[in-house]
Amino acid sequence: MKELVNLFMVFFRIGAFTFGGGYAMLPMLQREVVEKHHWATEDELMDYFAIGQCTPGIIAINTATFVGYKNRGVIGAVAATLGMITPSIIIITLIAAFLTNFADLAVVKHAFNGIRACVCILIFNAVVKLAKKSVVDKICLGICIAVLLLSLFTPLSPALIVVLAGAAGVLFKRTGIAGGAKK
């Protein structure tokens, strides 16, 4: 029971104190899940995050669900997921109740502008950290650049781009082009 409460509280804090969605949460997820509680390795967290992007739903909630499931099964997944969504429900309720009265105040506008700037830096840091772990050779760099270009300049679905990138990685690995000989 203590571990379930711990899962809930850790994800409650992450959900309460990070703004900007899943990418902005990545540094805090890494610190709490990998470094502090050892619920997953850094590679596992990156895998959860990648799968969380490909599956329907919100990346942060999907990632919390995967971490909770790994550690305590279905009940752990529920605890981590509830921990992640509870702060948002509380915050959205409060905003809906009060912000419409204050949305035109300069101080509120400036606060949200500051939060947006901070979120951009958090997302940039998450991208850099993911790139350092993911782009390990020239083939990975090529796939990364191809995905970036496809995302920016074509109307292709992100899901299709992920599938194509995965297929390219498997193809290069099997042919021995990426990182050694065939198995």
Distance of CA 32 to the CA centre of its chain: 13
pLDDT tens across 11-58, in order? 999 988 877 666 778 888 889 999 999 999 988 988 888 888 878 878
Q: Locate tokens 């690995």: which residue?
A: 173
Give every CB contact of residue 108 below 8 A, 6+ residues apart in sequence: 99, 102
- Give per-residue pLDDT as tens, 71-99: 999 999 999 999 999 998 998 888 888 77
pTM over 0.75? The answer is no
Nearest to residue 79, comparing CAs of 110, 119, 39, 117?
A: 39
Residues in contact with 70: Cβ distance below 8 Å, sequence separation at least 6, in sequence order:
39, 40, 44, 76
Q: What is the pLDDT of residues 118-156, one digit of tens each?
A: 888 888 888 888 888 888 888 889 999 999 999 999 999
Q: What is the DSSP string of 103-129?
A: TTSHHHHHHHHHHHHHHHHHHHHHHHH
Q: Which residue has the higher pLDDT, 36 or 178?
A: 36
Does 108 have pLDDT greater than 90? no
